[in-house]
Amino acid sequence: MAFRQLIRLVWGVVGLVGISLALACGWPRYPDFSAEARAYFSAIKANDQPLKAPRTGEWRHENHEPGQTLEQYQELAITRPDSVHRTLYLLPIGHFSPLQKKVLEATRQYLQHFFQLPVTLLAAVPDTFVPKAARRRGIEGQEQLLAPYILTHRLAGKLPPDGLTLMALSSRDLYPKPEWNYVFGLASYPDRVGVTSLYRLQDTRLTAANYTRCLTRLINLSSHELGHMFSLRHCTFARCVMNGTNSLAETDGTPNRLCSECQSKLYWTCRYNNRQRLLALHTFFQSHQLKADASLASRDLKRLPAVTRP
Ligand SMILES: [Zn+2]
Ligand SMILES: [Zn+2]
């Protein structure tokens, strides 16, 4: 009896050591990933930046979310892009100046790189798209649109036949419910629709001087909201574009980079070439003078294994 117990104990220890070694080696973390993808995620994980302890008023101080691992994500019923449904649609609502149109087009290009899927910017619809009953005057006297109304009554079920997601980009401010002052954006997971506002991202008016700051905010918020539409929850693992934020200052402190955990979820759903995606994002950041994000992408590129060609 004692001998059998000893054998069981030895096997138990051997099993535990085996599992620990496997996890330390990055296996079986990504069991159905390609060898290229496993090497990519093992390499960039070292560049994940730890989150700082949240201060009063910041998102994680006020909201205690559990996070979402790749394994938890994989258990969800996620709609994958296929040969027909693979276009992300952007619908501008309201009036946009030429510079605002430029920032929308740059955002379209960015999202194409970020998700490695076609992104179409539709023709703008006027403010009357949202009826008076779903508008109000905000505390600063600004016109505001009721974001949940836009999702439920204007976007849900209106995806074009080849559409995977539909996100409105509003020139007006948004509010989520009467007791809230405003919201930057809102998304519906099951309907794969969302809305993001440009209003608060441009420091009252978009000019050549604040264009880059507005662009980095808009690509941050729109990739975040679209991330939700791909069933990504708020990230609690590292500094990441999927971190929850409570204010523009908090958004400004959030990188445009997806941490390795969130990137592995998006890759699992979209199955793109990770290196190509990173190269495209790096080029975008450089050409739009987004220096901090270009530097993060450059650090990731430097960690990638050398490409061997036959
Ligand atoms: Zn969010
Ligand atoms: Zn993350």
Looking at residue 4, its pLDDT comes to: 52
Looking at residue 28, its pLDDT comes to: 55
pLDDT at residue 15 tops 90: no
Looking at residue 151, its pLDDT comes to: 96
Ligand nearest to C-alpha 67? 2
For residues 212-235, give the mean pLDDT.
Answer: 96
How many angstroms separate the alpha carbon of residue 130 from the centre of ligand 1?
Answer: 23
Helices (H), 136-238: 147-149, 211-229
Give the whole-number percent of the chain exceeding pLDDT 70. 90
Give the whole-number percent of the chain exceeding pLDDT 90. 84
The pLDDT-based confidence of 17 (bands split at 50, 70, 90) is very low
Q: What is the mean pLDDT of the chain?
A: 90
The pLDDT-based confidence of 44 (bands split at 50, 70, 90) is very high
pLDDT at residue 307 tops 80: no
pLDDT at residue 306 tops 60: yes
Calculate the CA dihedral of residues 208, 210, 216, 222 and round it to 10 degrees: -90
pLDDT at residue 14 tops 80: no
CA 210/CA 79 separation, integer angstroms = 37
For residues 33-62, give the mean pLDDT.
Answer: 94
Query: How many helices and strands in the chain, by DSSP H and E?
Result: 11, 8
**Domain range summary for the chain, segments of one domain joined by +:** 32-65+239-305, 79-230
Looking at residue 29, its pLDDT comes to: 75
- Token pair recorded at residue 112: 């194409």
Looking at residue 122, its pLDDT comes to: 97
Question: Which SS3 state, helix, strand or coil, does residue 303 take?
Answer: helix
Instruction: Say what the pTM is.
Output: 0.89
Single out the catalytic residue among 71, 225, 250, 261. 225
pLDDT at residue 178 tops 90: yes
How many angstroms separate the alpha carbon of residue 251 from the centre of ligand 2?
Answer: 14
Element spanning 274, H or E: helix 274-287
Question: Which SS3 state, helix, strand or coil, does residue 49 take?
Answer: coil
Looking at residue 305, its pLDDT comes to: 84
The pLDDT-based confidence of 8 (bands split at 50, 70, 90) is low
How many angstroms separate the alpha carbon of residue 305 from the centre of ligand 1?
Answer: 33
Looking at residue 308, its pLDDT comes to: 57
For residues 259-288, give the mean pLDDT.
Answer: 97
Q: What is the pLDDT of residues 189-200, one digit of tens each?
A: 889 999 999 999
Under DSSP, the state recorded for 209 is: T
- CA 132, 138, 141, 144 dihedral sign is negative
How many angstroms separate the alpha carbon of residue 235 from the centre of ligand 2?
Answer: 4
How many angstroms separate the alpha carbon of residue 119 from the centre of ligand 2?
Answer: 23
Catalytic residue at 225?
yes
Ligand nearest to C-alpha 184? 1
Element spanning 165, H or E: strand 163-170
Looking at residue 237, its pLDDT comes to: 96
Rounded to 10°, the helix 260-270/35-44 angle is 160
Looking at residue 48, its pLDDT comes to: 98
For residues 112-131, give the mean pLDDT.
Answer: 96
Ligand nearest to C-alpha 240? 2
- Token pair recorded at residue 29: 């973390």
Helices (H), 53-127: 59-62, 70-74, 98-115
How many angstroms separate the alpha carbon of residue 15 from the centre of ligand 1?
Answer: 39
CA 11/CA 32 separation, integer angstroms = 27
CATH architecture of 79-230: 3-Layer(aba) Sandwich (3.40)
CA 102/CA 14 separation, integer angstroms = 60
Ligand nearest to C-alpha 186? 1
Looking at residue 18, its pLDDT comes to: 40
Helices (H), 116-201: 147-149
Calculate the CA dihedral of residues 15, 17, 22, 25 and round it to 10 degrees: -170
